[in-house]
């Protein structure tokens, strides 16, 4: 019998006006385009986790949580992993003028070796088609657009 691991994840839809923050992994292009997200620490509540992960991954300090958007379970067994991701999605607002693009990353990722992992960040216009996001990272984008009044 295979044991299924449940991994609790916090996802950040960070906006600046009608733009959504996305990123790529320059060293691992196969990782696709993503939104900031990460694992919740044991005992950590989702709203604290999303703000911590968003700040760690992006380097942005002017972030605030607007609201919780929803929860989504993603079964990773079809991908060959014996795990289910319990994903909590939040809308965060970036106050102040953020850079158009930048590189930042983590030196202590929750999964994997302790090495610096760079991320290349950019903004995508929510009033237009977004580039394809990997692994259901776009699950609550329609809800985000509705929240922002974008048809």
- Average pLDDT on 71-76 reads 93
pLDDT at 107: 66
Other C-beta atoms within 10 Å of 113: how many?
7
Domain residue ranges in the chain: 5-147
Tell whether the model's pLDDT for residue 66 goes beyond 60: yes
Q: Kindly state the percentage of the chain with pLDDT values over 70.
A: 94
Convert the pLDDT of each residue in 107-130 to its tens digit. Answer: 665 555 567 889 999 999 999 999
CA distances from 128 to 8, 97, 124, 131 (A): 31, 21, 8, 10
* CB burial string 15-36: b at 16+ within 10 A, e below: bbeebbbbbbbeeeeeeebbbb
Q: What kind of fold does domain 5-147 have according to CATH? A: Nucleoside Triphosphate Pyrophosphohydrolase (3.90.79)
pLDDT at 54: 97
């Amino acid at each position: 019998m295979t044991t299924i691991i449940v991994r609790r994840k916090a996802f950040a839809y960070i906006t600046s006006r009608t733009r959504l923050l996305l990123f790529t992994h320059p060293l691992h292009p196969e990782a696709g385009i993503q939104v900031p997200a990460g694992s919740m620490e044991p005992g950590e509540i989702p709203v604290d986790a999303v703000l911590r992960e968003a700040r760690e991954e992006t380097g942005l300090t002017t972030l605030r949580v607007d609201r919780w958007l929803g929860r989504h379970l993603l079964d990773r067994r079809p991908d060959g992993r014996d795990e289910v991701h319990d994903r909590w999605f939040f809308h965060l607002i970036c106050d102040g003028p953020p850079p158009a693009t930048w590189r930042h990353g983590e030196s202590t990722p929750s999964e994997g070796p302790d090495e610096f992992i760079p991320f290349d960040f950019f903004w995508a216009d929510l009033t237009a088609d977004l580039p394809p996001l990997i692994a259901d990272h776009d699950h609550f984008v329609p809800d985000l657009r509705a929240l922002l009044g974008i048809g």
